[in-house]
Amino acid sequence: MIGSLGVTILQDGGGGTGSGISLKMQEHQKDIVLVTVIAGIFDANSLYARCYFAAAAGDPTATPTPERVVTVATNLVLSLLSPTSDRLPQTVTHACFCWDTAAKRDKNRSPKPAAYVDGLQLFKRLVEHGMGFSMAIPNTEADDAVATVVTNCEKSGQFERVFVISGDKDLMQLANDNVGYFCLGSKYVLTQASILERWKVKKPDQIALALAILGDPGDGIPGVKGWGIKKVKKLFEDVPDDADIMTAYEIITGQMPPNVRTVFDDCLDLTLLDRQIPGLPMPKTATIGDQDVFNSLGLGELRNRCLILTGELAHAELAGVDAID
């Protein structure tokens, strides 16, 4: 209650009022409609990959059907976005799903099996046409799309808070007082203190510097040979707690021999996120497609569950495997 006025919740299709709060007085009523506008930015390829392997967990030798994988992925999305869920500390009202379309570098990974690719395409169609969320599909990797959408959300002033949903450690560098990082592996929002302790840096955006030193073989980043997390900690000892990334860069590179700095700079080009990809959409509220849309995807039974996103159902039973548990 605000004074003697009732408070109700409204999920609108817009982006908010510029403060993360939307207020509207209903004519002839005393109710104030108050909306806390929260954005959820999904690293969609990371989420889908986890769901694919979770769908096959019961029988590692079997190939899960695309429909099975998409059901698992849908259950995971709903478990995060449902108004009745406690997985995120605040209910997400607007979401954007970001997808890989091109790699920055050759990661020497084997091609995905046909069933994986088919399920991925089906999940994309479900998110766009079944759930109605915005889709960021740039000609680059998903982590850069996530970084750009998060940056645009912060600049817009339309969102009280933003959550990044990912299993990709690179995206921890987006965390700040207004941006939370939900780790699909740990299954909760990581605190900034835990992120800083893991990487031995002074601010999350400096993780790119640590990654350039440590390397990441899975992402094709060699790092500085022989330098590990203890070296990162030592390099950052002279970095002030309030230093920005450029100040931190100057301090740590000042401690590097020229040959090491060359390797480090080459790796840093790969670990820094691009936050300025043009043309990406802002997050938006769910708009659930009609039954024919779900039927055309071969996922007719999922529509009732998805209605929880728009408040049309107070509760939706999530049958099947919840990939996050």
pLDDT digits (tens, 9 = 90+) for 55-90: 988 666 778 999 999 999 999 999 999 988 889 999
pLDDT in the model for residue 324: 42
Strand 21-25 relative to strand 94-98: parallel, antiparallel, unpaired?
Answer: unpaired
Q: How many CA atoms lie within 13 A of 210 on its CB side?
A: 27
Question: Can you give the length of the chain in residues?
Answer: 325
Question: What is the pLDDT averaged over residues 31-50?
Answer: 86
Task: Work out the pLDDT band at 6, boundaries 50, 70, 90.
Answer: very low
Q: How far apart are CA 47 and CA 51, in angstroms?
A: 6
pLDDT in the model for residue 9: 35
pLDDT in the model for residue 310: 85
Beta bridge partners of 182: 165, 189
> In the predicted model, is pLDDT for residue 298 greater than 90?
yes
> In the predicted model, is pLDDT for residue 32 greater than 80?
no
Better-scored residue on pLDDT, 105 or 266: 266
Question: What is the pLDDT averaged over residues 136-158?
Answer: 94
> In the predicted model, is pLDDT for residue 317 greater than 90?
no
> In the predicted model, is pLDDT for residue 186 greater than 60?
yes
Residues of the chain with CATH 3.40.50.1010: 37-196+276-310
- Architecture (CATH level 2) of domain 37-196+276-310: 3-Layer(aba) Sandwich (3.40)
> In the predicted model, is pLDDT for residue 163 greater than 70?
yes
pLDDT in the model for residue 157: 95
Per residue, the 3-state secondary structure of the chain, as one string, reads CECCECEEECCCCCCCCCCCEEEEECCCCCCEEEEECEEEEEEHHHHHHHHHHHHCCCCCCCCCCHHHHHHHHHHHHHHHHCCCCCCCCCCCCEEEEECCCCCCCCCCCCCCCHHHHHHHHHHHHHHHHHHCCEEECCCCCHHHHHHHHHHHHHHHCCCCEEEEEECCHHHHHHCCCCEEEEECCCCEEECHHHHHHHHCCCCHHHHHHHHHHHCEHHHCECCCCCCCHHHHHHHHHHCCCCCCHHHHHHHHHCCCCHHHHHHHHHHHHHHCCCCCCCCCCCCECCCCCCHHHHHHCCCHHHHHHHHHHHCCCCCCCCCCCCCCC
Residue 108: both structure tokens together: 């020497």
For 94-121, what is each residue's pLDDT tens digit?
999 999 986 655 566 778 889 999 999 9
